[in-house]
Homo-oligomer: A and B are copies of this chain.
Amino acid sequence: MNKEQLFQQIREKKSFLCVGLDTDIQKIPRFLLDTTDAIFAFNKEIVDATHDLAVAYKPNLAFYESLGVNGWNSLEKTVNYIRYNYPDLFIIADAKRGDIGNTSSLYARAFFDSMDFDAVTVAPYMGEDSVKPFLTYVDRWVILLALTSNKGADDFQYMSEDGERLFERVLKYSSEWGDEENMMYVVGATRAETLSDIRKIVPDHFLLVPGVGAQGGSLAEVARYGMNKQCGLLVNSSRQIIYASSGEDFAAKARSAAQEVQTEMAGLLDQYL
């Protein structure tokens, strides 16, 4: 999917919601455990119930890897299900990969060839040659970690040389490796005020923003400081939506939670676009 198509989806659905499929076997409704693939069954219900309110889905790989081969199977089925039934959705592998060049090529192959993801999150620590192999695919995206939403972000990401902080250097350097048609950045919602600084460096790129909801970030603040003329935001919500209920009504409750976020998003899109 290219940038214009993504923006088109955002306009049509009046939503820039990304639903995080952080599907934890210990948190999904108990009754699903009787099915042969409970993780996939859960994801399918969540996607069916929310697909018209969200523009993107983001399985976090850790949840699937922790289940070994079975988890990997559930992940592949989830991606295939979304691609086949809702071809307009943007699918992100939240993998935070990154390795030396020839090895990153294999990760790219894993997510873009073996599986049909639109985008993969990548950690920038190893620099240019660890990122570039992902950029050789047409209409596929790298989403590079810039400023994350967790406490540990303070340890290294704010390190500063000549007035430039590490996350700013990541934005600056990497925007030379790709462009706003194949790169996005992860910027935590818990740092909404910093979004202004970030927009000075990457005014046109999309930002993937975790940390709204359970982690305490404010959607209005994110839109105020981060939205650009093509929206430029994908705001992720995971637990708040997918675990809205642990009963048989989990999918309906997930829809209500997504609806609430989408309504707020529609208002913000009206306000800023």
Contact = CB atoms under 8 A, between A and B. Distances in A.
Interface of A: 22, 24, 60, 62-63, 65-69, 72-73, 76, 94, 96-101, 103-104, 106-107, 109-110, 113-115, 123-131, 145, 148-157, 159-161, 166, 169-170, 173
27 contacts: A60-B99, A62-B99, A65-B107, A65-B110, A65-B114, A66-B107, A66-B114, A67-B114, A68-B76, A69-B72, A96-B98, A96-B99, A96-B123, A100-B149, A125-B125, A126-B145, A126-B150, A126-B152, A127-B150, A128-B151, A129-B152, A131-B152, A155-B173, A156-B166, A156-B170, A159-B159, A160-B161
A63 B109 CA distance: 10
A124 B154 CA distance: 12
A106 B68 contact: no
Contact of A153 (B66, B127, B154, B169): B127
A125 B145 contact: yes
Given A60-B99, A101-B150, A161-B161, 13 more contacts: A65-B107, A65-B114, A66-B110, A68-B72, A68-B114, A69-B73, A96-B123, A100-B148, A124-B156, A126-B150, A127-B155, A128-B155, A129-B151
A226 to B, nearest CB: 20
Contacts of A98: 96, 123
Contacts of A123: 96, 98, 123, 125-126
Contact of A130 (B73, B110, B150): B150
A164 to B, nearest CB: 9
A76 B71 CA distance: 13
A76 B107 CA distance: 18
Given A62-B110, A72-B68, A107-B66, A159 B166 contact: yes
A110 B68 contact: yes
A43 B97 CA distance: 24
Contacts of A68: 72, 76, 110, 114-115
A76 B65 contact: no
Contacts of A103: 22, 60, 62-63
Contact of A125 (B110, B124, B149): B124
A143 to B, nearest CB: 13
Contacts of A109: 66
